[in-house]
A and B are shown apart, each in its own frame.
Chain A
Amino acid sequence: MKKTLIIIRREFLNRVSKKSFIILTVLMPFIMAALIFVPLLLSQIKDDNQKQVVVIDKTGEYMPLFKSDKYYAFVEDTDIRPEYKTSDSPVEAVVCITGNLVENPRAVTIYSHSEVKQELLSLVERTLNDAVRSQKLRAYNVPELDKIISDVQKEFSISTVKWDKEGGETSSNTGIAIAAGFIFTFLIYGFVMAYGGMVMSSVVEEKANRIVELMVSSVKPFQLMMGKIVGIALVGFAQLLIWGIMLTAILAVCGLVFGVNIMQGAEMNVAGAAAMQQPMPELSESQEIVTALANLPYGELCLMFVLYFVGGYLLYASFFAAVGASVNEQEDSSQFMMPVVMLMVFGLYAAMYSIENTNGPLAFWASMFPLTSPIVMMIRIPFNVPLWEELLSLAILYGTAILFVWVSAKIYRVGILMYGKKPSIKEMIKWMRYQ
């Protein structure tokens, strides 16, 4: 045990002291924060920049419909002036309506120096469409038409409410739940692949270096294998922890700088909880998101993430260790890696399709099958999975992981001392029976 600890210590320290690890670990939160904040920043820049659009309406019917907003200022004119055509004109575009659009739908054109922006195009289209439609309807002479139209055009949105065990109402947001599930799913997928791969290349390196012969004259192969697997897992946890802390700190700082108050979330949470007592349909959308965020089962998510991460990693890492021990060079490992990568990608797809029906048969079986369960289950947890399913899936996962560790240790023990040709699966099975 003491020797295993010495090995874990070396595997851990050796990796976290590497320059590449430090750089990646420190930079990644900034990149992630940038991914969140740069679009936000850019959208704020756009606010200050109202663009001028000239409307030439020969009919005089449509101009009043164009309402200037913070993005576009609509200005009326009678003719296309020569200065609009110069390339340094401050006018973004010219909308020219030459006739009644009900009679001639092609009587509108937009002129511009650059490609007309999609949002401007759709704004103009929408505005004119509405006008044309109500004009046409009016032609049927329906009484109280305006009232009917305004009644029909009332916008609505569906708010989703989830019943908890006691039948009480909690606000939920499917989008947020999907996003949370996806983040954890990708974290598990990415970490198992990256750190499992690290175990394999480390085993291959030791074998190719021939240091392994010296190592196993001091420690048992099982100690060496487990020391490596655990040491590398700790590197993964350290990285996750650093990312978590740094990302929170960076987001908090950025939030203050850009005026997005994260604390607001907590306050709204309280308000949201109060609102939960009596259904309040007027809950604004942003409030709804915040409440949904606050209602995610964080404790369960984090606990399950750790459990599935450890189980899935143990399973795949021990497999990778056995593969690493069996081959002589990194390149030889591809024949063994292919099926594993395919399984994991299958898991990822299963996770994506499970979103549509998180309690359907695909989601259920894929979250029971131990090779895909860590990936698929993570996406289901925000949608409240029955406890017995979680426990059963974990039991299968850990049972399989222990079996994999046991089998891998047997293959590893023989494989690390075998040089020469690449072994077949049959030979590897034979190794398991060696003394």
Chain B
Amino acid sequence: MTDIFLNVQRVSKRFAEHTALDEVSIAVPRGRIFGLLGPNGAGKTTLIRIINRITAPDSGTVSFDGREFMPDDVQRIGYLPEERGLYKKMKVGEQAIYLAQLKGLSRSEAEKRLRAWFEKFEILPWWNKKLEELSKGMQQKVQFIITVLHAPQLLIFDEPFSGFDPVNAERLKREILELRDKGHTVIFSTHNMASVEEVCDEIALINHGRVVLSGDVSEVKDRFRTGVYELVCTSSAIESTPEKFEVIAREERGHLWRYLLHKFDAMSNSELIAMLARNNEIRTFNEQMPTMNEIFIRTVEANNATLNQ
């Protein structure tokens, strides 16, 4: 039984014209990174706002750290909104301390921690600068620090990498993984599927206000196995074998041959390799796993198709 830190159960939220969330349930395990995925307008922001206690659900329950969700729990949540924003005319250090105080830190404690973070990111000279004097990337760094400053148990990052250059995005990714390893629970919302594969342990995919796919990342990928394999070997004579596999494509590459095979379910990978290895020298044998991007597109399109019927 996994330790569920945040449990959202059958939460619904309706606005005047549309239903933003329809009986959505997600379970975020403690100390893991949970990817909250979905196309634009799927209801992710509404769900995140409910988790932040910015809006209240019409129905359904949220439990936090194994008990009922309480108003003061917001102090144990750190939120990096997709639409970044801080006071432009306020000095960076003062601003971060102010926002940390609103999360329940004392002034002196906030100052101490902020100093440590600024040293870690090597940005101490920014302390007394006004926010508007910083570049956009610098502002993003400040906002990240503000999100994590009060060391919240639950961190919510909405598109955290947007606006970062590749070097800083990598740096940020390491920070997020480090936070997870320290025991923080992370909800990670993004459209960047490559980063989902790199970072997330679990995902939930929301479409039109409903969870259409969820689970452990590798387990989800397993579900979407296509049974297609890439084979590179020395033989040109591999042919489809009834009830075992069929050859989808074949091409010559110098003195080697590259095949795409489709394996039937009855056969295991090991049996297939054994069968192929009998008469061939295998250079590459590679199951074609679907990317999260493909899974995302296939799931959303399939879901939209059923909804349109």
Is B272 part of the binding interface, using a Cβ–Cβ cutoff of 8 Å? no
Binary interface encoding of chain B residues 68-89 relative to chain A, with 1 for a CB under 8 A from any of its CBs, else 0 = 0001001101010101111110
* A417/B54 in contact, CB under 8 A: yes
Q: Mark A178-217, 1 if CB is under 8 A from B, else 0.
A: 0000000000000000000000000000000111111111
Query: Within residues 213 to 234 of chain A, which ones have a CB less than 8 A from any CB in chain B?
Result: 213-220
> Of B3-11, B98-106, B162-170, B200-208, which stretch is located at the interface?
B98-106
CB of B16 within 8 Å of the partner chain: yes
Interface flag for B40 (CB, 8 Å): no
* Bound-state Cα–Cα, A88 to B57, Å: 90
Chain A: residues with Cβ within 8 Å of the partner, total of 20
Query: Contact partner of A210 among B16, B85, B103, B146, CB < 8 A?
Result: B85
For the complex, is A351 an interface residue (Cβ under 8 Å from B)? no
- Complex interface residues of chain B between 81 and 130 (CB less than 8 A to chain A): 81, 83-88, 90, 98-99, 101-103
Stretch in contact with the other chain, from A2-10, A127-135, A317-325: A2-10
For A7, give the chain B residue with the smallest CB separation: B102
**Cβ-neighbour of A435 out of B58, B84, B87, B103 (below 8 A):** B58
Number of A-B contacts (CB under 8 A): 55
**A214 and B54 alpha carbons, distance in the complex (Å):** 9
Given contacts A14-B90, A209-B88, A430-B16, contact A218 B81 (CB under 8 A): no
How far is it, in angstroms, between the C-alpha of A10 and the C-alpha of B58 when the chains are bound? 34
- Give A336 to B290 CA distance when docked, in angstroms: 55
B residues less than 8 Å from A6 (CB atoms): 98, 101-102
Tell me whether A214 and B55 are in contact (CB under 8 A).
no
Q: A14-B90, A217-B79, A218-B74 are in contact. Are A210 and B84 (CB under 8 A)?
A: yes
Contact call B55/A217, Cβ cutoff below 8 A: no
Do A210 and B81 touch across chains, with their CB atoms under 8 A apart? yes
Residue of A nearest to B101 (CB): A6
Contacts of B85 in A (CB 8 A): 209-214
- Chain A minimum-CB-distance residue to B156: A217
CA gap between A69 and B229 in the complex, in Å: 119
Inter-subunit contact A218/B88 (CB<8 Å): no
Q: Complex Cα distance A62/B225, Å?
A: 124
Measured between alpha carbons, how far is A161 from B256 in the docked complex, in Å? 119
| Bound CA–CA A219/B52 (angstroms) | 10
B86 to chain A, nearest CB (A): 5
Q: Is the CB of A217 within 8 A of B58?
A: no
Cα distance A213–B99 in the bound complex, in angstroms: 12
Q: Are B102 and A219 in contact (CB under 8 A)?
A: yes
Taking Cβ atoms with an 8 Å cutoff, the residues of B that contact A are 16, 49, 52-58, 71, 74-75, 77, 79, 81, 83-88, 90, 98-99, 101-103, 146
**Sample of 9 further A-B pairs with CB below 8 A, known A6-B98, A213-B79:** A6-B101, A7-B102, A14-B90, A213-B83, A213-B85, A218-B99, A218-B102, A430-B16, A435-B55
Q: Which residues of A contact B (CB under 8 A)?
A: 3, 6-7, 10, 14, 209-220, 417, 430, 435
27 contacts between A and B (CB under 8 A): A3-B102, A6-B98, A6-B102, A7-B102, A14-B90, A209-B85, A209-B86, A209-B87, A211-B86, A211-B87, A213-B81, A213-B85, A214-B79, A214-B85, A214-B146, A217-B52, A218-B74, A218-B75, A218-B99, A218-B103, A219-B102, A417-B54, A417-B55, A430-B16, A435-B56, A435-B57, A435-B58
